Amino acid sequence: QVQLVESGGGLVQAGGSLRLSCAASGLTFTRYVMGWFRQAPGKEREFVVGVRWDSGNTVYADSVKGRFTISRDNAKSTVYLQMNSLKPEDTAVYYCAADGPFIVRVGVRASDYDYWGQGTQVTVSS
């Protein structure tokens, strides 16, 4: 079965950095859009960033543009989220998600994605 396993979350001070990883198995990774979403307490799950299977299309939420960078290593079936200049409002559970196969456009809605990881907590202190 498909498994997405996130890692790399933790507690960091404002202005700091974290790198999240999501290791995928049970699917042909090179055919899937990979996305990151986040959900803060009491709020809806929101789109953060997504990258197409060939890295030919990447979409960022306005709130993270210039601070977060998504990348994927297809040889390792892993997608990464480099988060710099973190702010307290970035505090949330971060989820990795997969959409595919061979989706042309990166979806920005949670309903666009077929598979989800269990999430990893990111806490940014002020």
Which tens digits make up the pLDDT trace of 43-94? 999 999 999 988 889 999 999 999 999 999 999 999 999 999 999 999 999 9
Distance CA 65, CA 31 (A): 25
What backbone torsions phi and psi does residue 112 show, to the nearest 5 degrees?
-75, -20
Structure confidence at residue 71 (pLDDT): 95
Distance of CA 56 to the CA centre of its chain: 17
Structure tokens at 80: 């990464």
Give CA–CA dist 104/45, Å, rounded: 23
For position 55, what pLDDT does the model report? 81
In this predicted structure, the answer to whether residue 6 has a pLDDT above a threshold of 90 is: yes
Neighbouring residues of 20: CB distance < 8 A, sequence distance ≥ 6: 6, 7, 8, 9, 36, 80, 81, 83, 94, 96, 120, 122
Average of per-residue pLDDT across 16-32: 97
Backbone angles phi, psi at 106, to 5 degrees: -75, 120
- Distance from C-alpha of 107 to C-alpha of 122, rounded to nearest angstrom: 23
